[in-house]
Structure 1
């Protein structure tokens, strides 16, 4: 990323940022240490949001934010306030939501089923070649997420 964004910016002058979705934070840490203030970095690996905040990330985009975005916001707010214990507690809640999704494959189908069932919004079905979860599987997943008491 440290090399890519400046090079890409020469070819695409309007380039202003990127989403970083890797669990290896080494490249991200190096990039954030350098003076690249013109680029906004959105962190996309929800399970490690708190660690990324400690490195200097200040924005996030996550697949589970359709129904867990409030947890990510709370993690970011608590971190900013210096409440690391509270931030860790909410990071753990967010991780439990992701772990629940992973039991159902943590694929587009499970993510979309969860978002459709617990967010109150209709995101539609998956598209070919991805097969959606069955109605039974989707309801089971939604019930597991509801039992976590992480929804607004």
Structure 2
């Protein structure tokens, strides 16, 4: 396990799930995808089957096959493969956690159930304890994404309980704009990993102490984000701001068109040259014939091509 006894630092790409035109998972392009991330974006950590990967729209069997394929093609190339195992069903989450350990993943992560939500903080911790216990040898990360899960407990109030009850608890994938909560987590728990998950605010996360980040834009703007990390480490805040602004301007362009996850998947296909296929229903892309050229023009304007 690459993460054994180590801190997780740097960028983690939240990978898209390749699909065929018939919406079957497309395993044969994953090797090309891994090579692209390493060689073109200098990103060597991945978070698979999460939100960007449409994990909740996949069957348990599909998620297992994807985890196996990502792990297989990442050996010797990637530093860490984190497998998201969260499901609405506790038994499915435990099954996926055990499978992740058996196929060689470096860590697991789980979001809270989001239909029948935990009735209290303690209930959430008990749920996550069961998931983590199914793969006790793997570092476990709680996936906090309240905008989608609807579970809004302050992470700074949860972390101590997770440390007490989950022996393998390593940290949090923190996908929220509440930088005060994020800052309190880092201040109070310096021994844990807090991976910031809002790409357009990563610089703010760095200021408050983030050492790692998970996001979808690191699939195709990872080289830019890596330059920002380097500028921040060097103390060149002006350069870091300029680089963060490029990402912000591009995302502002995307959001102004009303685009979401399906369209980001198309952007990744466009930039990488890897056909990742369509999203799975209920998601539908808002992609028109003129959009590829519009995206290229905006990336060129910002110096991101």
TM superposition score category, shorter chain reference = 0.7 to 0.9
Distance apart, 1:5 and its partner CA: 2.5
- Comparing 3-12 with 54-63, greater Cα deviation is found at 3-12
- Backbone CA RMSD of aligned residues: 1.9
| Aligned twin of 1:67 | 220
> Paired residue for 1:58, among 193, 199, 211?
211
Q: What is the rounded CA distance, in whole Å, between the counterparts of 2:216 and 2:175 in structure 1?
A: 11
| Aligned twin of 1:18 | 172
Distance apart, 1:117 and its partner CA: 0.8
> Paired residue for 2:295, among 139, 142, 152?
142
| Aligned twin of 2:160 | 6
Instruction: Give aligned pairs, total.
Output: 150
Q: Deviations 1:98-131 (Å, cap 9, x if unpaired)?
A: 1122123241111111111112223331001001
Cα–Cα, structure 1 residues 6 and 145, in superposed 2: closer, same or farther, change >3 Å?
Answer: farther
Structure 1 gap segments, 5+ residues each: none
Answer yes or no: is the 8 Å Cα contact 1:114–1:141 preserved in 2. Answer: no
Q: Deviations 1:47-72 (Å, cap 9, x if unpaired)?
A: 11111111110111111111111111
Answer yes or no: is the 8 Å Cα contact 2:159–2:185 preserved in 1. Answer: no
Q: What is the rounded CA distance, in whole Å, between the counterparts of 1:51 and 1:29 in structure 2?
A: 10
> Paired residue for 1:82, among 223, 235, 238?
235
Task: Identify, as 1 or 2, the structure richer in strand.
Answer: 2
Distance apart, 1:4 and its partner CA: 1.5
Task: Identify, as 1 or 2, the structure richer in helix.
Answer: 1
Cα–Cα, structure 1 residues 11 and 79, in superposed 2: closer, same or farther, change >3 Å?
Answer: same
Distance apart, 1:23 and its partner CA: 1.3
| Aligned twin of 1:46 | 199
Q: What is the rounded CA distance, in whole Å, between the counterparts of 2:279 and 2:193 in structure 1?
A: 30
- Which structure would you say has the larger RCO, counting Cα contacts within 8 Å and 6 or more residues apart? 2
| Aligned twin of 1:33 | 187
Q: What is the rounded CA distance, in whole Å, between the counterparts of 2:298 and 2:219 in structure 1?
A: 13
Structure 2 gap segments, 5+ residues each: 1-154
